[in-house]
Structure 1
Amino acid sequence: MAFSADELRVLRRALATALNPAPLQDDDVQDCLRLADSVDEAVREAGRERAFLLADLVRYRQALPGSLTGYLALLQDALAAGHDPTADDLAALRALRSHPAAAALLARCQVLAERSVRARLARVSQAQARTAPVRTAPAARTRLLALPGGRAADEGSKPSGPPKPAPKAPAPGERPVPKPSEVFPPRRRPVPPPPPEERAAG
């Protein structure tokens, strides 16, 4: 893209204002707007020319091998305009590799195609890295400590078995209730009889 002398002066003033902000006069603002419109129009025109060039390239490729010279020239122009070689371009050049110019252009297109694939894969990887959820390690579990009081304390204070009634004291003048051992004395084991020899001796 080429700028005229007037456009370069406007561009220089715009860059100076961007570096050192200062109020612009109305004429300077209008000049910057006109320059921006010119740049936009040039970009649109370049896009149209590139579309026409690629359309011609397809037509010449379909007419191979008769259009060999024109196809190679168009392909070189398309590469200079930023065109990435397609699979059809590589296939056509492989079929024409017996021609020295086609063989040289094939080697160049293979390098450009490989570089384009790597750049595309790098962009995909970066996009996936930005959208992938961040996984964090689970927090370490803390041990639960028994605090004083609460249910554990209540359970510890409860008796293990059913409550036993407290012995009732007898009223004054009332006989105490005898114990089972007093009512039913323990049975004594019977004494075995002496052996017959002792009875005979006696």
Structure 2
Amino acid sequence: MAFGADELRVLRRALAVALHPMPLPDEDVQDCLRLAGAVDDAVGEAGRLRAFLLADLARYRAALPGSVTGYLELLQDALAAGYDPRADDLAALRALRGRPVAALLLERCQVLAERSVRARLAGRGAALTAPGPRSRLLALPGGRAAAEPQRPAGPAAPSRPPAPGDRPMPKPSEVFPPRRRPVPPPEEQRAAG
């Protein structure tokens, strides 16, 4: 996740307030709430993209051997995103180990699967799973309410419209680079040619 200059400014102010509580102007509170919302949206989008990748991986695995190239690419992407290979993946890679890329992936997946099993047996399985949804930021400690006396409820202040310099939410295609096709080893090039 990448932050822009304005987002970093808001984050820095929020961290300073968390370390040294002080009253905040309404504008700063609204900026912090907007940033928290943007982070929540980005985390949700990352979860949706991961679910899509894993569903795609299962479809390609089910279509083997006809989808070998796509399956191997998706498996590499999933492993790079922190995916723990399943027994189905290991079985598929064993069937494909005549291909150099599949043989390398099989070795990597066996190591990852063994590490995952050992961690679960040691009682640390929860540390390897994805974290649950984080709670929303409802208030900042030391914010405006900590220093000001309570006023009678009146009409709510209008929220500040986004400034012209605010960055829009990036598209997934801007955040995640396109997949690169693996270059076949020289042996496969000679066999194909």
Superposed pair shares fold, TM > 0.5? yes
Give the number of equivalent residue pairs: 126
Query: Which structure is larger by alpha-carbon Rg, 1 or 2?
Result: 1
1:95 corresponding residue in structure 2: 95
Q: CA deviation at 1:123?
A: 2.1
> 1 CA distance for matches of 2:73 and 2:124?
33
1:158 corresponding residue in structure 2: none
8 Å contact 2:57–2:74 — kept in the other structure? Answer: yes
The 5 A counterparts of 1:88-127 are 88-123=88-123
TM-score, normalization: structure 1? Answer: 0.59
Structure 2 unmatched ranges of 5 or more: 127-193
Q: CA deviation at 1:117?
A: 1.2
> 1 CA distance for matches of 2:77 and 2:125?
31
Residue identity matched to 2:36: A
1:49-96 superposed Cα distances (whole Å, 9 cap, x missing partner): 111111110111111111111101101111122211000001000111
> 1 CA distance for matches of 2:39 and 2:75?
26
2:17 corresponding residue in structure 1: 17
Greater RCO (CA < 8 Å, at least 6 residues apart): 2
Q: Is 2:70 the counterpart of 1:63?
A: no
1:30 corresponding residue in structure 2: 30
1:6 corresponding residue in structure 2: 6
The 5 A counterparts of 1:1-202 are 1-123=1-123
> 1 CA distance for matches of 2:77 and 2:56?
11
- CA separation of 1:36/1:125 partners in 2, compared to 1, >3 Å: closer, same or farther? closer
- CA separation of 1:16/1:125 partners in 2, compared to 1, >3 Å: closer, same or farther? closer
Residue identity matched to 1:44: G
Identity of aligned residues (%): 79
Structure 1 runs, 4 residues or longer, greater than 6 Å off: none
- CA separation of 1:125/1:95 partners in 2, compared to 1, >3 Å: closer, same or farther? closer
8 Å contact 2:7–2:35 — kept in the other structure? Answer: yes
Structure 1 unmatched ranges of 5 or more: 127-202
Q: CA RMSD in A?
A: 1.7
Q: CA deviation at 1:124?
A: 6.4
